Amino acid sequence: MEIGNESRNLQNQPVVDKELVEEVKHKMPDEELLYDLAEFFKVFGDSTRIKIIWALFEADMCVCDIANLLNMSQSAISHQLRVLKNSRLVRYKKSGKTVYYSLNDDHIKKIFELGMEHIME
Amino acid sequence: MEIGNESRNLQNQPVVDKELVEEVKHKMPDEELLYDLAEFFKVFGDSTRIKIIWALFEADMCVCDIANLLNMSQSAISHQLRVLKNSRLVRYKKSGKTVYYSLNDDHIKKIFELGMEHIME
DNA sequence: TTAACATGTGAACATGTGTTCATATGTTCA
DNA sequence: TGAACATATGAACACATGTTCACATGTTAA
C-alpha cells in the first residue's frame, strides 16, 4: 500500500519552471485514477500471470491444467487466478469439480501486442 | 528475481486434458520473452512512475519540476526516472545543470488508453 | 455416507521494491 | 577558485508480493 504525501514537507524544493508545474498540476488526472491504473498494470507485471494470460489466449483451461502447463503448483496458480479475477481480467465457469478460466477483456491482447512491440524494438 | 522451476518435482499433478496442455505448451512463446514482457509492464505498475509518465505527456520536464509537481523528493524521482530510462520509456537531454526528460515511445499513450478503458468499464 | 478429486484460502516465509538519507558528481556563475 | 545549484547514486529501511504448506470447501462416484 502506498501512502499519501500530504504530510510531507517538501515546500522549499527548487523549481525551474513554476508556471509549467502549476499548469501540468491542473491537467493531471485524479490521484485515485492514476493509482488504479498503476494497480491494473501491476497485474501484468508478473511472469506467472503473463504466462497464464497467454495460455488463456490459446484456450480456456482449468486450474490443474494451467498448473501442469507452467509446471507450478495448483495452489500458486489458484492464488494468481484470484488476482486476475479481482482485476476482472478473467472469468470462470464451474463444471462439476473443475473450474474453467477464460479471458474477460478485449483490451488485453492489444495491450500485450503493444508491450511486445516495445520490447522487440 | 524469479527463479527457474526446473528442479521442482510436480510431475505427478493431476491433468484433465493432457492433449490440450501439450498443444498449448508448444504454442507458448519463449520463457524469456514472457519474462521480459512482465518486466516491461512492471514498470507501469507503480503510481509514481505512472504520474511521471503522465506528466511527460503534457510537457518535457526537468527532475526538480517533476519532484515539485508530485510533491516528492528529488531523489525519489531521480531513482524512478532511472527505471524508466532503463526500460527505454524516457530519454533525457542535458541543458547545463538541469536535465530534461521526455517520453521515448509511441506505444505508451496507447497502452495507457487501453488500461484506462479497462478500469473505466 | 465415504473416498477421491479439483479448487480455494490463510499463514508463514523469502524475496523484491520504493523511498529516504547522506553524499558524490558535474555545472554555472561570481 | 569556490559557492550554489541540479541531478545521480549507494546503502538502509520498511513494506509489498509470490510461493509454499497445510488444510478447508465443495463435487463426483462408488
Tell me the per-residue pLDDT of B1-11, one tens digit each, with 9 for 90 and over: 333 333 334 55
Q: Average model confidence (pLDDT) for chain A?
A: 90
Residue ranges of chain A whose pLDDT lies below 70: 1-12
Number of domains into which chain A is organized: 1
Q: What is the pLDDT of residue A47?
A: 98
Positions 50-79 of A with beta carbon below 7 A from strand D are: 72-73, 75-76, 79
Q: With an 8 Å Cβ cutoff, is B37 touching chain A? A: yes
Please tell me whether residue B98 adopts helix, strand or coil conformation: strand
Per-residue model confidence as pLDDT tens digits over A11-42: 567 888 999 999 999 999 999 999 999 999 99
Strand C nucleotides where any atom sits below 7 Å of a protein CB? 5-11, 15-23, 26-28
Nearest CA-CA distance, residue B84 and chain A, Å? 13
Residue B73 lies in a domain: yes
Residue A38 lies in a domain: yes
CA dist B34 and B38 (Å) reads 6
Q: What is the pLDDT of residue B110?
A: 93
- Region B59-87: mean pLDDT is 97
Which residue from A minimizes the CA distance to B25?
A69
Residue B106 lies in a domain: yes
Q: What is the pLDDT of residue A11?
A: 55
Residue A1 lies in a domain: no
Q: What is the pLDDT of residue B11?
A: 54
Owning domain of residue A54: 18-120
Q: What is the pLDDT of residue A16?
A: 87
Q: Which nucleotide is nearest to A95 (CA to C1')?
A: D27
CB distance B38–A49 less than 8 Å? yes
DSSP string for A91-118: EEEEETTEEEEEE--SHHHHHHHHHHHH
Residue B60 C-alpha cell reads as 518535457
